[in-house]
Structure 1
Amino acid sequence: MRLLIIGINIRHIACSAWRAGHEVYAVDGYCDLDLESCACDMAPLSRDGMEGPKGEGDPVSEHIERVRPDAIILGPGLEEVRVRGVPLFNNSPDKVRRISDKLWQARWLERNGFPFIRTEASAEGLDFPVMIKPRRGAGGVGCRVARTRSELDWGEGLIYQEVVAGRPASVSVISDGKEARALAANEQLIGESWTGAAGFRYCGNITPLEPLPESDIAGMAEGIVSRLGLVGSNGVDFLLTEEGAVVVEVNCRFQGSLDSVQCATGVNLFQAHLNSFRGVLPERPAIICSAGRAILYASRPLKIRRRLLFPWTADVPRPGSRAERGDPFISVLARGSNREEVVGRLRERSDLVRKAFH
């Protein structure tokens, strides 16, 4: 199938589609070297039309005319854009916009009997410390803890949550709009100092989650995704607390765990995503190994001067590109027989990458 895949960062989606045998045309905000190797054609994503509220601009029409694809997949940052005249293999923009509202999510989880984190439009009535988050957003960007009233932000577009301690996890799910199938439970890497991430920034995954919690988070994720009527690849984030699992948020899109899930299960996630639109769901796969991806963040401004030749990197930046302090600039991958092996290799490889850049 001739596919146009477009989004701010679509390397993981496009390369999975290419491995599934599809003809991939990529439009991306980074144009990394490994994306180029998976695409028949690659173009930079224009920011024109993307400065207003999501869905109001039209950053895809020029690429539709140029590529004339059989179908389109919208990636990160563009999932709410409306597309006309070409089949779209995504959840509907209206559904994405509604579910991406974290305040709406919390109310929905409460109504449907799922464990949730108390979430309010105002900090009034919440005990300190208080978690402050963008009402819409991803990757932990803009999240912080206020320990006193003087540290509160009162800007628009924020939500306020009780602070809950727990182990971050996620479940990767494929759904056909009625039924859902969990493919893997994953450990989430959040704010790991060895990746250069700060605060609550998302910086990768380990698949499978070890040890598994007593709570059936796979079954819970299937129930959430199926009741929401989602289609394709979706994910549910959890915190595993001493009292049990609580839902952090629902992500109606491809997740950053795609690399580790594919490696650990042998399932091509993109093809499973496409098949779900025809009502075909995979069985829950067996785990064949442990796998991980770590996103590395720049500790200072970087100018990429040469290509890295390590075979276990992903999102490989082009020579001449730049990363500001705190920006993600490359990913490292690893596999092993257990979590400890994978984390050890990820840390060793992150050290090698930093030495090569510095």
Structure 2
Amino acid sequence: MRILVIGQSVRNIALSAFRAGHSVVAVDCYCDLDLFEAVEAHRLPVEDLLDADRINAIIEGVDPDAVVLGPGVETIRINGYSVMNNSPDRILRVSDKLWLARWLEESGYPHPDTWDRDPPDDRRMMLKPRIGAGGCGCRIFEGGAVPPGYIAQEFVEGVPASASVICDGSDARTIAVNEQLSGAAWLNADGFRYCGNITPLDVDEDTRKRIARIAEEIVAGLELVGSNGVDFILTENDAVVIEVNPRFQGSLDSVELSTGISLFQAHLKAFEGRLPEVGREVRFAGRAVLYSSELIRIDHDLRRITSCIADVPTPGSVIGMGEPMLSILATGSGRDEVMSSLKERRDALIQGIQRKVS
């Protein structure tokens, strides 16, 4: 099939489609080296992301068999083409953390207490954008009125985790349960910002199965289609559901490296009512997103410094402080081996970049 993948950053989705044997056109705001070298790729100005007419014109120009909308454009309505996403209305509803909190509560799933006004002042709280992803804008709530467009949510202490789920609208299969990295200082990620995954989550089999089952029930109950994710906090006593992501997730790389399953192909088949067979993970795998600690200009191919990196910026790219620089990938026989490899490659990158800059 001729597939168009379009969004703010689509390298992981587009290359998954390419590895599955499809003819891929990718349009995003970065055109990273590893994307550009593998498929037909075009740069999209950031200001065009929310211009529905511009997005529809790009699609008409490519004339694909199917469209996959990535980050930043998932709720735009497309005319006359097969779109392999959840509907815009369903995405907006499920992405609304206040609506989801009420749905989870009514459905009996453990979820933090959530308020859009007048939260109690005797609990530790998080302040979150009502609609948002990746931990951006999340912070400890200092009290007072909840700002418009935000929610206050009870803070839950534990291990961040996620489940990667394929659903056909009524039945679901969990492909993998993952550890989620957030706010990691060694990746220059501040606050609660998403910065990667380790697959599988390094817990006992019964715990993984319980998380997988809950995630399947939730995604099927919400009547989602294709690749979707459910975020949890694993406490000493429970797996607390935090949010549902009705889209491809940042864990795509680690899930595919760990399981050997093509998430894009599983996503595509789900729209035909076909769900994948699920086996055991082949290995541990990780993806870590390295953020820039300063304003920096990239003047060379960073793959010369170390292997196993992705989202590689093109020479000449200027990366602002706090912006994502690239992704680091690793595989191994256990979590410790994966983390060690990720950190070694991170150190090599930082040292190599500093030498070039100096």
1:292–1:346 contact (8 Å) kept in structure 2: yes
CA distance in 1, matches of 2:47, 2:167: 31
Query: How far apart are residue 100 of structure 1 and its match?
Result: 0.5
Which secondary structure does the structure 1 equivalent of 2:47 belong to?
coil
> Alignment partner of 2:181: what SS?
strand
Structure 1 residue 259, shift from structure 2 partner: 0.3
Contact 1:208 1:264 in 2 (8 A): yes
Q: Which residue of 2 aligns with 1:163?
A: 155
Q: Distance in 1 between matches of 2:150 and 2:40?
A: 41
Residues 151-230 of structure 1: pairs in structure 2 closer than 5 A: 152=144, 154-212=146-204, 215=207, 216-230=210-224
* Per-residue Cα deviation, 1:310-355 (whole angstroms, up to 9, x for no partner): 3300000011111111111111000000000000000110111111
Match for residue 240 of structure 2 among 229, 238, 246: 246
Higher helix share: 2
Match of 1:311 in 2: 307
Cα deviation, residue 235, structure 1:
0.4
Match of 1:284 in 2: 278
Opposite residue 202 of structure 2, the aligned amino acid is: E
Distance 1:259 1:187 in 2: 13
Query: Aligned letter for 2:341?
Result: R
Report SS of the residue matched to 2:137.
coil
* Further displaced range: 164-173 or 57-66: 57-66
**Structure 1 consecutive aligned stretches of length 4 or more whose deviation exceeds 4 Å:** none
Q: Return the alpha-carbon distance in structure 1 between the equivalents of residues 215 and 310 of structure 2.
A: 28
User: Aligned equivalents of 1:344 and 1:153: distance in 2?
Assistant: 43
- Mapping 1:330-345, distance limit 5 Å: 330-345=326-341
Contact in 2 for aligned 1:8/1:45 (Cα 8 Å): no
How far is 1:127 from its partner? 2.5
How many Å apart are 1:125 and its aligned residue?
Answer: 2.4
| CA deviation profile, 1:38-88 (whole Å, cap 9, x unmatched) | 2124232452362xxxxx733411211221111100001111110010000
What is the identity percentage for the equivalent residue pairs of Structure 1 and Structure 2? 52
Partner residue in 2 for 1:134: 129
CA distance in 2, matches of 1:49, 1:269: 25
Which residue of 2 is the match for residue 84 of structure 1? Answer: 79
CA-CA distance at 1:268 after TM superposition: 0.5
1:270 aligns with 2:261: no
Partner letter of residue 187 of structure 2? T
Matches of 2:238 and 2:254, distance apart in 1? 25
Change (3 A) 1:262 1:49: closer
Deviations 1:97-129 (A, max 9, x none): 111100000000001111111111024325232
Partner amino acid for 2:167?
Answer: S
Report SS of the residue matched to 1:239: strand
Aligned equivalents of 1:287 and 1:124: distance in 2? Answer: 42
Partner Cα distance (2:296, 2:240) in 1: 38
3-state SS of 2:104 partner: helix
What runs of 5+ residues in structure 2 fail to find an aligned partner?
none
Question: Could you state the TM-score of these two structures normalised by the residue count of structure 2?
Answer: 0.95
Structure 1: state its 5+ residue gaps.
Answer: 51-55
Distance 1:11 1:337 in 2: 26
Q: Please name the residue that 2:321 is paired with.
A: 325
2:29 aligned partner, one-letter code: G
Q: Partners in 1 of 2:114 and 2:205 — Cα distance?
A: 24
Matched-pair contact (CA < 8 Å) for 2:8–2:49: no
Alignment-derived partner of residue 116 in structure 2: 121
Instruction: Spell out the pairing of 1:48-63 with structure 2 (5 A cutoff).
Output: 48=48, 50=50, 57-63=52-58
> Displacement, 1:284?
1.5
